[in-house]
Structure formats: C-alpha cells, structure tokens
Amino acid sequence: MRLHVEGLTYSYGEKDAVDQVSLQVERGEFVGLIGPNGSGKSTVLKNIYRGLTPDRGSIKLDGENLLTMPYKKSALKMAVVGQENEVPFDFLVEEIVAMGRSPHKKLFDIDNVHDKEIVHHALEHMGMAHMAKRSYLNLSGGEKQRVLIARAIAQESDFLILDEPTNHLDISYQMQIFDFIKRLNVTVLSAIHDLNLAALYCDRLYVLKNGKIVLQGTPEEVLTAEHIYEVYGVKSSVSIHPVTGKLAITYLPEALQNIA
Ligand SMILES: Nc1ncnc2c1ncn2[C@@H]1O[C@H](COP(=O)(O)OP(=O)(O)OP(=O)(O)O)[C@@H](O)[C@H]1O
C-alpha cells in the first residue's frame, strides 16, 4: 500500500487548518506525523481517512484517487483508529470489534466462525478478550482505545491510520501497541505526540506547524535539539540511547537550560 498526498488544503472556516501538505508513505513504512497542539495533524489524517473532504489537493492509494473510491473499497484498504472514541449507542466490546469485519461482508451476511476467530484474536492481542461481553460505554479511556485498535486489527487491511493511538494508555500498553503494530508489518501513518516513541518506532517523520509541513526526514534528521526548540519552543538534550541505539530526548526544565 502506497499513499501519496499532494497539495492537501483544508479549512474549517476562513483560515487554512492544513495548507498545501504533501506527504508520501511507502509500502511497509511506519511514518509519524508530529507537531504542536493545533498544528493540523488530525485534520490531515481526517482528510486521508475521508472524515473530511479536502478543499484542494489529491490523495492517492496505490495510484488510485481515494476521493472517488467507493467507501467499501477504501475501508478494505485502510483501517483507522481516530481520536474520538465515543460511539453513539451502547455496544458490547466484541460487537465493536466485529464492526471491523463489515467491509469484508455483503449487506445481510452474518459473522461466521472465521470472523469470530479474528475478533477473538484481535481482542486477545489487546489484552481485552476477558472483557468481550462488557459494555463498551463503561470502559476506561485506555480500555476503549484498546478495543478500537482491536477493531482496526480485525479489519485486516494493510494500511493503518492512527491518530495518537496511545494517548489514553499507560506506558506498558503504549509500548505493547506500538510493538504489536510494528510486528504486523503493515504500512502505518500515525500522529504521535511523544517524540521518544516517534524516535523509537518511526522510519520517517513529518513535522507540522501552523498547518504546514516544516520538516521531514528520519528521526535522526528531524529530532535535533535545534528543531525541537524551533517547533515546540522547548530546550532539550538529544542523544543516542546506549541500549536502543535510537534517539533519546530529555526535556530540560528552565533551571537546567544554561548547561545544555
Ligand atoms: N471542527 C473544527 N472546527 C473548527 N476548527 C477546527 C475544528 N477541528 C480543528 N480545528 C482547528 O484546526 C486546527 C488544526 O486542528 P487539529 O485538530 O488538526 O490539530 P492537531 O495537530 O491534531 O492538534 P492536537 O495535537 O491538539 O490534537 C486548530 O487550529 C483547530 O482549532
């Protein structure tokens, strides 16, 4: 699965929330979208997963225009874990995950044994199998997030779009989910706030600021102390971690900034 976005522009009102954004995700890549609050990450992702329609620009999946693709076909190609995790009605956890199977089915098809196995395994992977019969609305934020990730896994598409997938999760599930997604060997585009997680898991990064891509490259190219200060206004110390071999970013409180 290859994604090509060219000149994507979108405004909610007068000001462009996303301005001429171009990005590519090649097959098998794990690409991160980072940037400060309000920089446009979710808006870019929503335009890609068809929650919003671009004002201008083109979005292609494997060379095919996504904006005119039948919805069912695009749902077979990409699965989404969005930021808002509320559902309008009360469903059981297993029913929410089973919704991931719907692009694979015809209108009146019911779930077969194969679907049920996929749903069960997806829940198991997220450590939620024991909650399959629980009501979704009564779960904690982190548990809801794990159910929605299980739903995306059950969809079995080879392109995942994630909007801050771990923002409700404690550190063990944050690591577990990124490790798991990495093992799936699918193509991933994910908004990520935590720069250390972005450095650990992403092959390439795009940095958004005020709706524009201001930097792109490998984590090593993008996540320098200078760039972090330019984009976030925060002083940091960036080194290569001796165990992971990846970048490790330490943010410096005011009292320590003069020694960095
Ligand atoms: N539904 C909306 N109506 C009007 N403006 C919106 C709407 N959603 C987002 N915006 C504005 O668009 C801009 C980009 O928002 P967006 O949610 O894409 O940023 P983000 O980078 O995902 O932020 P965060 O890191 O806080 O989640 C912001 O200025 C935001 O206030």
Q: Are residues 83 and 13 in the same domain?
A: yes
Q: Are residues 114 and 203 in the same domain?
A: yes
Q: Are residues 230 and 108 in the same domain?
A: no
Q: Which ligand 1 atom lies nearest to the CA of residue 46? A: 18
Say how many Å lie between the first and final Cα of the chain, rounded.
Answer: 42
For the segment 55-77, what is each residue's pLDDT rounded down to a tens digit?
Answer: 999 999 999 999 999 988 898 89
Domain count, the chain: 2
How many Cβ atoms from other residues are within 10 Å of residue 192's Cβ?
25
| Residue 17 phi, psi (nearest 5) | -75, -30
Query: Could you tell me the distance, in angstroms and rounded to a whole number, from the CA of residue 124 to the centre of ligand 1?
Result: 33
Q: Are residues 217 and 235 in the same domain?
A: no
Helix H or strand E segment including 5: strand 3-11
Q: Which ligand 1 atom lies nearest to the CA of residue 39? A: 21
Per-residue pLDDT at 259: 57
Q: Which ligand 1 atom lies nearest to the CA of residue 208? A: 21
Query: Could you tell me the distance, in angstroms and rounded to a whole number, from the CA of residue 38 to the centre of ligand 1?
Result: 5
Per-residue pLDDT at 109: 67
Q: Are residues 196 and 252 in the same domain?
A: no
Query: Could you tell me the distance, in angstroms and rounded to a whole number, from the CA of residue 54 to the centre of ligand 1?
Result: 15
Q: Are residues 122 and 32 in the same domain?
A: yes
Residue 88 structure tokens: 């309008």
Range(s) of the domain holding residue 233: 225-260
Q: Could you tell which of 16, 39, 206, 208 is best to mutate to test the pocket of ligand 1, judged by most ligand atoms within 8 Å of the CB?
A: 39
For the segment 133-192, what is each residue's pLDDT rounded down to a tens digit?
Answer: 999 999 988 888 889 999 999 999 989 999 988 877 888 888 888 888 888 889 999 999
**DSSP strand pairing (30-34 vs 16-25):** unpaired
Residue 256 has pLDDT above 80, yes or no: no
Q: Exposure string (b/e) for 225-253, b if CB count within 10 Å is 16 or more?
A: bebbeebbeebbebeeeeeeebbbbeeee
Q: Are residues 241 and 204 in the same domain?
A: no
More confidently predicted of 99 and 254: 99
Q: Are residues 218 and 234 in the same domain?
A: no
Q: Are residues 256 and 143 in the same domain?
A: no
Contacts made by residues 100-104, CB under 8 angstroms, sequence distance 24+: 100/150, 100/151, 100/152, 100/153, 100/154, 100/155, 100/156, 101/154, 101/155, 102/75, 103/72, 103/75, 103/76, 103/155, 103/157, 104/76, 104/156
Per-residue pLDDT at 72: 86
User: Which residues' Cβ are closer than 6 Å to ligand 1?
Assistant: 12, 17, 35, 37-43
Give the CATH number for residue 111.
Answer: 3.40.50.300
User: Which amino acid residue places its CA nearest to atom 7 of ligand 1?
Assistant: 12
pLDDT above 70 covers what percent of the chain? 95
Q: Are residues 23 and 149 in the same domain?
A: yes
Q: Are residues 171 and 71 in the same domain?
A: yes
Q: Which ligand 1 atom lies nearest to the CA of residue 35? A: 21
User: Which amino acid residue places its CA nearest to atom 30 of ligand 1?
Assistant: 38
- Report which residue type is found at 92: L
For the segment 110-145, what is each residue's pLDDT rounded down to a tens digit?
Answer: 767 788 999 999 999 888 999 999 999 999 888 888
Q: Are residues 243 and 189 in the same domain?
A: no
User: Which amino acid residue places its CA nearest to atom 14 of ligand 1?
Assistant: 40
